């Protein structure tokens, strides 16, 4: 009997990936079906449904699910889910498809899945804007005033929603490919069932996950080690899907983590892994998504620090923490009144703003350090990327020298630079 937290939704891992002869037969059938070109985001969502990372989802959402997720943070059946998982297509393609039809979902010539269409529906520009207001609008300065005008210019998640085509398709999928991830990230790309087996072998039951989309600096290291102190182990879980321009590629970030784990962690208490999603940059809602699918990986504590999954100044510094206080999640101590399996079990591990303090002579947080801003090295992935991209001097104690050497080598090889915008949180101007 596993001591790990059960998968979300109460149905175990819902795995939609076909392998062996079943996959070969489905690929042969798919070659004759109507083909729909999917986005990079939908590709990642499909793979997560394939490997059970999005349990209990077995297909793209219906309009009732979409509306309920936006309004109530639940699927239409009441199961907790924080962000829409949608498949869009053009009006021309939608008109070719009848209810009950099977279609093939492809990207750049590769078939990723087949799908039985149970519903097709238009989403108007007004409805997409409504989704953005519900899911992506936060409490930060950029979300005030004319949110959509600012977001259309500066929020990549909102831009992705508004770029969806006219119709959406819903229905169960049979996933046929995991893309480039198994080969490109061999040993890092780990399916939920595989990670669960690794943790069970170690005897872990209380596990924390550290979400990473930036190179691992001293604050990240500090957060991971806090988790190791109070849990059986920590999973350093990197996004290996697509990011926005200017972010550092996954293979570079993985190399940095390898170096840190090798030199600065007790290996028995840490696992490095990667997952195949694209960032949505949905701030608080994405923090909830990170906790939801980490539960499927066997994680019951999600590390949530400052400005988790944020972009620009759209979100309050700790809005991704406080949103957890507004949703029902179940524990043995507290009954939330939600049908078993439908509430979120993975709980937040909330960590205050962390930094290096010269007077404390070490890593600290606003809860532990009594000193002022001038004594602190404010750490953020955005700030690090900006300094490196502009050839700036990196302050002492910002990152480990071995990691900075890897990042300097990466930036020295770039032929095209991307401007890195600094939000208040990353710059440290918002610190008390």
pLDDT band at residue 332 using 50, 70 and 90 as cut-offs: very low
Whether 256 and 339 map to the same domain: the answer is yes
Q: Do 190 and 110 fall within a single domain? A: no
Residue 213 appears among annotated catalytic residues = yes
For residue range 6-29, list pLDDT tens digits in order. Answer: 999 999 999 999 999 999 999 999
Task: For residue 287, tell me if it sits in a domain.
Answer: yes
Find the domain containing 58 and state its range. Answer: 20-123+164-177
Give yes or no for residue 331 having a pLDDT over 60.
no
The reply to whether 155 falls in a domain is no
Q: Is pLDDT above 90 for 426?
A: no
CATH code (residue 45): 3.10.400.10
pLDDT for 316 beyond 60: yes
pLDDT at 176 over 70: yes
Is residue 370 scored above 70 in pLDDT? yes
Mean pLDDT of 223-239: 96
For residue 395, the model assigns a pLDDT of 77
Task: Report yes or no: 336 and 328 within 8 Å, Cβ to Cβ.
Answer: yes
- Residues 6 or more apart whose CB falls under 8 angstroms from that of 197 comprise none
pLDDT of 366 higher than 90: yes
CATH number of the domain enclosing 229: 3.40.50.620
One domain, residues 206 and 224: yes
Model confidence at 419, pLDDT cuts 50, 70, 90, reads low
Number of domains in the chain: 2
Note whether 170 and 200 are same-domain residues.
Answer: no
- Sequence length of the chain is 432
pLDDT for residue 283: 96
Whether 129 is covered by a domain: the verdict is no
- Regarding whether 104 and 214 lie in a shared domain, the answer is no
Tell me the average pLDDT of the chain: 91
> What's the pLDDT at 390?
77
Q: Are residues 171 and 190 in the same domain?
A: no
Whether 141 is covered by a domain: the verdict is no
Question: Does the pLDDT at position 333 exceed 50?
Answer: no
Residue 214: active-site member:
yes
- Residues 281/244, Cβ–Cβ less than 8 Å: yes
Q: What pLDDT sits at residue 423?
A: 55
Q: Is residue 107 part of a domain?
A: yes
Position 13 in a domain: no
Of 152, 177, 202, the one marking the end of a domain is 177
Considering the chain, what percentage of its residues have pLDDT values greater than 70? 93
* Residues near 260 by beta carbon (within 8 Å), at least 6 away in sequence: 216, 221, 400, 402, 403
Q: How many CA atoms lie within 13 A of 313 on its CB side?
A: 15
In tens, the pLDDT along 24-76 reads 999 999 999 999 999 999 999 999 999 999 999 999 999 999 999 999 999 99
173 and 210: one domain? no
* Domain-embedded: residue 300: yes
Tell me, rounded to whole angstroms, the distance of Cα 169 from its chain centroid.
23
Distant-in-sequence, close-in-space partners of 341: CB < 8 Å, separation ≥ 6? 6, 8, 9, 10, 11, 79
pLDDT digits (tens, 9 = 90+) for 115-138: 999 999 999 999 999 999 999 999
**What pLDDT, on the 0 to 100 scale, is given for residue 173?**
98
164, 191, 196, 213: which one is catalytic?
213
CA atoms of 281 and 136, how far apart (whole Å): 8
Q: Both 187 and 83 in a single domain?
A: no
Same domain as 314, residue 219: yes
Rounded Cα gap, residues 145 and 140, in angstroms: 11
Judgement on whether residues 257 and 110 belong to the same structural domain of the protein: no
Confirm whether 303 is domain-assigned.
yes
pLDDT of residue 247: 78
pLDDT the model gives residue 336:
60
pLDDT of 418 reads: 53
Does 284 score more than 80 pLDDT? yes
Q: Is the pLDDT of residue 431 over 60?
A: no
Using alpha carbons only, give the angle 353, 357, 361 rounded to the nearest 5 degrees. 135
Residues 196, 214, 242, 306: which is the catalytic one? Answer: 214
pLDDT of residue 213: 83
For residue 394, name the pLDDT band (cuts at 50, 70, 90): confident
Residues 169 and 213 in one domain: no
């Amino acid at each position: 009997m596993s001591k790990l937290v059960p998968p979300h939704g109460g149905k175990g891992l819902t795995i939609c990936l076909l392998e062996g002869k079943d996959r070969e037969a489905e690929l042969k059938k798919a070659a004759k079906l109507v083909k729909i070109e999917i986005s990079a985001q939908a590709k990642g969502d499909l793979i997560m449904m394939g490997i059970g990372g999005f349990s209990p989802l077995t297909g793209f959402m219906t309009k009732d699910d979409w509306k309920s997720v936006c309004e109530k943070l639940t699927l239409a059946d009441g199961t907790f889910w924080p962000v829409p998982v949608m498949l869009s297509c053009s009006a021309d393609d939608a008109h070719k498809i009848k209810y009950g039809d099977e279609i093939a979902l492809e990207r750049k010539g590769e078939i990723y899945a087949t799908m039985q269409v149970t519903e097709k529906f238009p989403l108007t520009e007004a409805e997409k804007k409504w989704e953005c207001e519900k899911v992506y609008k936060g409490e930060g300065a950029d979300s005030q005033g004319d949110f959509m005008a600012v977001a259309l210019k500066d929020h990549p998640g909102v831009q992705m929603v508004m770029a969806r085509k006219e119709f959406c398709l819903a229905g169960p999928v049979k996933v046929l490919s995991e893309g480039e991830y198994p080969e490109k990230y061999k040993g890092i790309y780990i399916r939920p069932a595989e990670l669960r087996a690794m943790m069970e072998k170690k005897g872990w039951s209380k596990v924390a996950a550290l979400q990473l989309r930036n190179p691992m600096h001293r604050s990240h290291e500090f957060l991971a080690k806090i988790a190791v102190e109070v849990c059986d182990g920590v999973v350093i879980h990197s996004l290996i899907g697509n990011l926005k321009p200017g972010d550092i590629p996954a293979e570079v970030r993985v190399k940095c983590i390898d170096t840190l784990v090798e030199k600065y962690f007790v290996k028995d208490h840490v696992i490095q892994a990667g997952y195949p999603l694209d960032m949505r940059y949905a701030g608080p809602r994405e923090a909830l998504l990170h906790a939801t699918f980490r539960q499927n990986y066997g994680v019951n504590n999600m590390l949530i620090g400052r400005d988790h999954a944020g972009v620009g100044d759209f979100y309050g510094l700790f809005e991704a923490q406080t949103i957890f206080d507004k949703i029902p999640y179940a524990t043995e101590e507290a009954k939330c009144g939600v049908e078993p399996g439908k509430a979120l079990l993975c709980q937040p591990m909330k960590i205050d703003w962390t930094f290096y303090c010269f007077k404390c002579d070490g890593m600290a947080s606003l809860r532990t350090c009594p000193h002022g801003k001038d004594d602190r090295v404010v750490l953020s992935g955005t700030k690090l990327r900006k300094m490196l991209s502009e050839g700036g001097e990196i302050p002492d104690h910002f990152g480990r020298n071995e990691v900075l050497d890897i990042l300097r080598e990466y930036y020295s090889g770039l032929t095209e630079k991307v401007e890195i915008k600094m939000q208040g949180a990353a710059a440290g101007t918002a610190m008390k």
